[in-house]
Structure 1
Amino acid sequence: MNMHFAHLTVVVKLLILSGFLITGFSCAVLGDEQNVTPTVQSPETTAAYVPGELIVKYKDGSVAALAAEGTGPVALEALGAEVATDFSAEGLSNLQALDISGSLSVKEAIEELEQSPYVAYAEPNFIISLSLPETEPANENDTGEISALSYPNDPKFSDQWGLTNTGQTGGKSGADISAAKGWDITTGSDSIVVAVIDTGVDYTHPDLAANIWTNPGEIAGNGIDDDGNGYIDDVHGYDFINNDNDPMDDNGHGTHCAGVIGAIGNNGVGIAGLSWKVKIMPLKFLRADGNGDTAASLNAIAYARRMGADVISCSWGGTAKSQALGDAISSTNVLFACAAGNAGSNNDITPHYPSGFSSDQIISVAASDDDDGIPSFSNYGASSVDLAAPGDWIMSTYPTALGHQYVKMKGTSMATPHVAGLAALLLSKDSSLTPSALKTKILSSVDKLSAFSGKTVSGGRINVLKALGGGSSSGVVALPGQSNAPKDLNGDGKYEDVNGNSRTDFSDVVLFFKQMTWISSNEPVTVFDFSGNGRIDYTDVVTLFKSI
């Protein structure tokens, strides 16, 4: 052993003289936002709902038409009810929102309606509320520790640990979704549209404006419904809670989610979204205070379907189960990325919706942190939550009018758009993928992690490179100058054969030493952490040398 160390000393001296430096990897930790905690419960208990409003689904379309007139077997006039919105016009057949102005309460009206053989179900118009997000404004002058990275050149990319984690935030190097390597395959497509159903989006933000969806059939400002979709001057989406054509974000939550999905990448400004080229469709159904309702969400979903959204991102939800919401989702043919919730609870025991609906279209998303652990706020569920994505202190865009262009937030709200952005990348590569096929690709390519074993269906966290078909199944790729990827020769999970020549010898030690910095930024750190201290450093060189 002493002879080994003597040889190692000579090697180290030679490498130092050759200009190679030993680099340690240490970091700092970041923190918390819990921002989607709807206050609603089941209608049998003390559900929070909009007073005087309910949603009804009829069993037959002709009955719905008669009911709209207050006649026929379901006479709304007798109930003191009138049709506020007929969702049938939006592709949600036989579904209506009603206003109750008579003596009956919402609960009594529902009981009366459900006695009719012509009514499939009736439910309150549930209130959906975001808890106001905790935010940490970005330092406008701070370009971060690793901003010297040449690709992408966005100055705050160093703060996006979820995309490339070198331990810069105090977490574990390699605990990321391999986005930078995935971008070698595709950076997205302008033909893919992602609807962000939320508090709106700052469509003028300098890191988002060029990626905002524009309605091709509408002429701005002429006061005419040019495309005949029922909405006047809906040039950049719509506001369904205030009922106007301006989906500007006055809360911040929706803009933050939009930036994770599609902030323009490699433009020398701010951050990089998962999909550098994409179209974000802003659909507002939550007010500045974070409150909205089911009826507004139904209109938003119907609009997204009608106007051709390819992916829908829903960073909200609660414990109230709205069958109308489930039906609206089923009426589409797109993938829904849905937040699992921020109560730190088991969704298998206490269901959360819409993430908990049983549908091949829905991916339920938990949050991961910069150590590849599960944050205390994140909901989980072995059968009800599909996978995890980065959600702990995520840097993203913020409405300029609210005082900061970039902030950090945390919650499954932030994890969800990572999945929506990955879906957009996959569709940019193959637009024929069905929602079910997209879901399968995303779930089957996760990095399996102990923290999510038994806590999610897949047991892992998304991996962009693997989902796009790049890299090996382990995520390990060939080191610079090598033709073969490293190999695990003895099945212990460590890749001691660094140069991939099917044996472990002194040349592996030399190569590992020379490429420590590259390995920590481009490989799964766990497979090269020979010393087991959670990072790549000189102790790994020593441990690898001893093992030869």
Structure 2
Amino acid sequence: MTVSAQGSRIRLLSVSTCLALGAALLTMAAPAVAATGNSSTNDPMSAAAAAAADKALPQHKAGTLIVGYSPTATDVQKGAARVKSGAKSAKRLTAKGPNTAEVVTLAPGESVSAAIAKFKSSPGVRYAEPDYVLTKQVTSNDPYYTGGNLWGMYGDGTSPANQFGSAAGEAWAAGYTGSRSVAIGVIDEGIQFAHPDLAANMWTNPLEIAGNGIDDDANGFIDDIHGWDFINNNATVYDGNSTEGSDTHGTHVSGTIGGIGGNGSGVAGVNWAVTIVSAKFLGANGGSTSDAVRALDYLRALKVSQGLKIVATSNSWGGGGYSTALNDAINLAGDQGILFVAAAGNSSSNNDVVGSYPSNNQCTNGGTRGYDCVIAVGSITSSGALSSFSSYGATTVDIAAPGSSINSAYPVDGYASLSGTSMATPHVSGAIALCASINPSLTAGQLRAAVVNSAQSTPSLAGLIVNGGRLDIGAMVSACLPSTSPVVGDPTALAATATSTTNVSLTWSDTAANETAYDIERAPFASSVCGTFTRVATTGAGATAFTVGSLSPSTDYCFRVRASNTYLGGSSTVSSSVTVRTLDPPAPYLCTSTTYAWVDKTAGTPATLTLTDDSSTIVSLPFSASFYGTTYNSAQVSSNGYLRLGTGAATAYSNVGIPTTSDPNNFVAPWWDDLNPTAGGTIWTLVKGSAPNRQFVVTWDNVAVFSVAGSGVTMQALIDEGTGDITFQYLDALTGSTASDNGASATIGVENADGTAGTQVGFNQAVVSSGSARRCSNSSATGPTVSTGSLPVGTTGVAYSQTLTASGGTAPYTWSVATGTLAAGLSL
């Protein structure tokens, strides 16, 4: 120790989107100015390399990308980013607000992958991503089926009966058939709006005069009588041709939502009466993310400006990868009480492990909404089994519904049987509309709770669907009905336990009766007094537990639970209140340079992981590892250069700064970037050493950077058993392009479970080098024991350096003089 005194990436499950409400077209001219930001992003990429990089992307629109800007981005920064990245034009995608986005069209010959890298390295850019192609989630078993098989509407109390149907028939028998005062937005293909089983239920814009070529309602869409076609940018929501789209899929899902019943012909939907709005964004070749965003914004605007009671959108499509632009749009619609019902996917895969989008999106408004406005839907067969094609997820797929061999409306004026999670999704969308018609006073959170919490537990779905639940509209009705008698009794035995710095677990005894919901209320606690209580969440009738999130660390709160219903306009009874303090935050991680000591395969028994582009796999840890105060026994290894502890998808390729509350969170990132092991390299793990001083090592070995042909980066993350410290090591940090060399396009660091805290080593900055290492530790530092008893005399104004003899302590060291005096001539 020396002391110195010298100063101090959509399928049907597929779509693609490109919208801009009232968008101004910005045409780019290349001004004679130097590009700002990291000059390395201007490195030329050969045409062959650019083509190879773009080909490896999930299916996307060529020459187009979506760019989102930070709230503080200036027009100058945006313009510089466009010029630097080869933009030809840009259209605003979202309305003006804190998170603006635009669809960028590149100049001919510009690579999407290269442009994304350039945008990401530019000041003011929040994200840049491909405009993914999305497709419908449907499989066809018979080209045309008119046998009247509506098992999906049956229940165990209908005739004919099928206990695994949605039991919509039981609701009809009780007199609940829907209302045209309730609307569903069908974001899909177009709809044959003149179909005899749909015509009366199609929305007709009361503020537009058909065919006059004037935007009568001034919403930016001329003659949008039944909705809008975002892929062809016109008001013709039914085209029925191979060029602009057959619109078979959109018609079919609409028939399940709202095929007219009781008319003696055709099919019946979950709602015999409902209002269906067409937001067409899927055509002959699928659609795009940008058009899906435009469709959502259009429907949200209809609810806000016209008062159209849109309670949900039905989304039987998917594809590409996670999109920040789409997630923002889903949450904005959620802010207006619009639920987003989404097909889980037709890949027969586990969405808990590899996310399927958009069903894996989260619509919690950063955890403050009190519920998730996304409802992910899997598919079951008429025998109650999970459909062979259906994706699943014990924590990510909320409910299952009939999706195999579903008969519904089909152009032209016909009927057909289709299968897919596409077919399951409108059963749930329709159920939400039916519930809203039964009780118009229900909020979006209450509608979600009524549908999801009334799901019938099914053994064949256990461990595959949340609570093993399948749609049961018959049971749902009682949860939707306005109360006919007051709540009797109070919830009792309320207890609160802080489970993290931001979460509190509540439990209580369900000793109330006649409730339709339990409201969770929270108040600040100060000076031994609870402040004003406000409702922060709602859960279903009969519930006995709830976890409240998005709290502040080290903060005292009061909670109480209120059993409620809507008898005589709303009555309720409340439990006694409890107080609880959230946990103190663990010590922050300090990431500092440390001794480089590469761990090669000879240090243990390596296990090679099978990972492709934008994929992840779960690995068991050889010991319990503490990360931000929580203990974990497994981790997800992402192909994109990071580990995620706990649940949630670990496939995101578009890196962001630390900390950020958007998904993913709870990660250890030696080099989070768009990496592609399919193009080259391997990923392996091993355990080094013996207990209690083992290290778990994950190595990305010569893994290609997506947009750089022939590249490869080699780095590793080590987790220490004894200390919990995390070490990043870099054998080869040169990729072949200064745009990504030394971490110039990567995020390096650690982040906690809710994205509220983290330590950033670098974000799109060249901060590491080959042969270097960083150690991240939040262990409590202890000072060394200094045995040097005296220091020689120093001279004022002359450099002074002496070595102290010391032992023990935790690096990095700091020192101070607490008692005694300094050697003569020294001062602090």
Please say whether Structure 1 and Structure 2 have the same fold, judged by a TM-score greater than 0.5. yes
C-alpha contact (below 8 Å) 1:81/1:98 kept by paired residues: yes
- 1:432 to partner: Cα distance: 3.3
Residue matched to 2:222: 232
Distance 1:399 1:222 in 2: 27
Residue matched to 2:163: 174
RCO higher in structure (CA 8 A, sep ≥6)? 1
Give the letter aligned to residue 171 of structure 2.
G
Distance 1:258 1:460 in 2: 24
Distance 2:93 2:57 in 1: 26
- 1:39 to partner: Cα distance: 11
- 1:430 to partner: Cα distance: 2.3
Residue matched to 1:413: 422
Distance 1:198 1:92 in 2: 28
Counterparts in 2 of 1:436 and 1:177: CA distance versus 1, 3 Å: same
- 1:114 to partner: Cα distance: 1.2
- 1:313 to partner: Cα distance: 0.2
Residue matched to 1:134: 140
Residue matched to 2:356: 352
Counterparts in 2 of 1:172 and 1:43: CA distance versus 1, 3 Å: farther
- 1:172 to partner: Cα distance: 8.1
Note the alpha carbon deviations across 1:283-326, whole angstroms, 9 max, x for none. Answer: 1111134x111111111111111112321000011251111111
Is 1:36 the equivalent of 2:13? yes
Residue matched to 2:322: 321
Note the alpha carbon deviations across 1:215-270, whole angstroms, 9 max, x for none. Answer: 12111000011111111111110110111110115241110000000011111121
Counterparts in 2 of 1:319 and 1:434: CA distance versus 1, 3 Å: farther
- 1:207 to partner: Cα distance: 0.4
Note the alpha carbon deviations across 1:372-412, whole angstroms, 9 max, x for none. Answer: 11111111110110110000100000010xxx610000010
Give the gaps of 5 or more residues in structure 1. Answer: 1-33, 143-155, 473-548
Is 1:52 the equivalent of 2:42? no
SS for the counterpart of 1:367 is: strand
Distance 1:431 1:256 in 2: 27
Distance 2:54 2:86 in 1: 21
How does 1:193-204 map onto structure 2 within 5 Å? 193-204=183-194
Counterparts in 2 of 1:278 and 1:233: CA distance versus 1, 3 Å: same
Residue matched to 1:336: 340
* Percent identity for Structure 1 against Structure 2: 40
Question: Which stretch shifts more, 130-139 or 263-272?
Answer: 130-139
C-alpha contact (below 8 Å) 1:91/1:302 kept by paired residues: no
Residue matched to 2:625: none
Residue matched to 1:447: 456
Counterparts in 2 of 1:185 and 1:131: CA distance versus 1, 3 Å: closer
Residue matched to 1:302: 297
Is 1:276 the equivalent of 2:287? no
C-alpha contact (below 8 Å) 2:451/2:476 kept by paired residues: yes
Is 1:366 the equivalent of 2:356? no
C-alpha contact (below 8 Å) 2:378/2:400 kept by paired residues: yes
Residue matched to 2:195: 205
Residue matched to 2:260: 264
Give the letter aligned to residue 66 of structure 2.
I
Question: Which stretch shifts more, 266-275 or 128-137?
Answer: 128-137
Residue matched to 1:519: none
Distance 1:186 1:299 in 2: 33
- 1:76 to partner: Cα distance: 1.9
How does 1:151-166 map onto structure 2 within 5 Å? 156=148, 159-164=149-154
Is 1:293 the equivalent of 2:293? no
Give the letter aligned to residue 321 of structure 1.
Y
SS for the counterpart of 1:55 is: strand
Give the letter aligned to residue 316 of structure 2.
S
More helix by share: 1
- 1:442 to partner: Cα distance: 1.1
- 1:437 to partner: Cα distance: 2.1
Counterparts in 2 of 1:298 and 1:461: CA distance versus 1, 3 Å: same
C-alpha contact (below 8 Å) 1:193/1:310 kept by paired residues: yes
The normalised TM-score by structure 2 is 0.47
Note the alpha carbon deviations across 1:401-424, whole angstroms, 9 max, x for none. Answer: xxx610000010000000000000
- 1:82 to partner: Cα distance: 4.2
Residue matched to 2:404: 392
RMSD after superposition: 2.9
C-alpha contact (below 8 Å) 1:81/1:102 kept by paired residues: no
The normalised TM-score by structure 1 is 0.70
Note the alpha carbon deviations across 1:34-61, whole angstroms, 9 max, x for none. Answer: 9636799x99953221111111111127
Residue matched to 2:85: 79
SS for the counterpart of 1:177 is: coil
Distance 1:388 1:189 in 2: 24
Residue matched to 2:747: none
- 1:439 to partner: Cα distance: 1.6
C-alpha contact (below 8 Å) 2:119/2:125 kept by paired residues: yes
Is 1:458 the equivalent of 2:467? yes
C-alpha contact (below 8 Å) 2:145/2:407 kept by paired residues: no
- 1:162 to partner: Cα distance: 1.3
- 1:181 to partner: Cα distance: 1.6
Give the letter aligned to residue 251 of structure 2.
T
User: Which among 399, 415, 422 is matched to residue 431 of structure 2?
Assistant: 422
C-alpha contact (below 8 Å) 1:85/1:97 kept by paired residues: yes
SS for the counterpart of 1:195 is: strand
Note the alpha carbon deviations across 1:127-175, whole angstroms, 9 max, x for none. Answer: 11337742525565x5xxxxxxxxxxxxx3xx11111157999x98422
- 1:75 to partner: Cα distance: 4.3
C-alpha contact (below 8 Å) 1:256/1:396 kept by paired residues: yes
Give the letter aligned to residue 445 of structure 1.
S
- 1:345 to partner: Cα distance: 1.1
Distance 2:221 2:15 in 1: 28
Distance 2:268 2:138 in 1: 25
Distance 1:51 1:37 in 2: 16
Residue matched to 2:250: 254
Give the letter aligned to residue 291 of structure 2.
A
Residue matched to 1:187: 177
Distance 2:231 2:293 in 1: 11
SS for the counterpart of 1:425 is: helix
Distance 2:278 2:266 in 1: 20
Q: Which has the larger radius of gyration?
A: 2
Counterparts in 2 of 1:363 and 1:139: CA distance versus 1, 3 Å: closer
Residue matched to 2:529: none
Distance 2:460 2:98 in 1: 40
Distance 1:102 1:35 in 2: 29
- 1:210 to partner: Cα distance: 0.5
Distance 1:200 1:353 in 2: 21
Give the gaps of 5 or more residues in structure 2. Answer: 1-10, 18-52, 241-245, 304-309, 364-371, 482-828
- 1:470 to partner: Cα distance: 7.1
Distance 2:213 2:443 in 1: 37
- 1:274 to partner: Cα distance: 0.3
Note the alpha carbon deviations across 1:163-212, whole angstroms, 9 max, x for none. Answer: 1157999x984222221221214211111110111111100100000000
Residue matched to 1:532: none
Distance 1:48 1:194 in 2: 29
SS for the counterpart of 1:129 is: strand
SS for the counterpart of 1:300 is: helix
Counterparts in 2 of 1:263 and 1:172: CA distance versus 1, 3 Å: closer
Give the letter aligned to residue 96 of structure 1.
E
Residue matched to 1:489: none
- 1:431 to partner: Cα distance: 2.6
- 1:464 to partner: Cα distance: 0.6
SS for the counterpart of 2:151 is: coil
Counterparts in 2 of 1:83 and 1:235: CA distance versus 1, 3 Å: same
Counterparts in 2 of 1:365 and 1:90: CA distance versus 1, 3 Å: farther
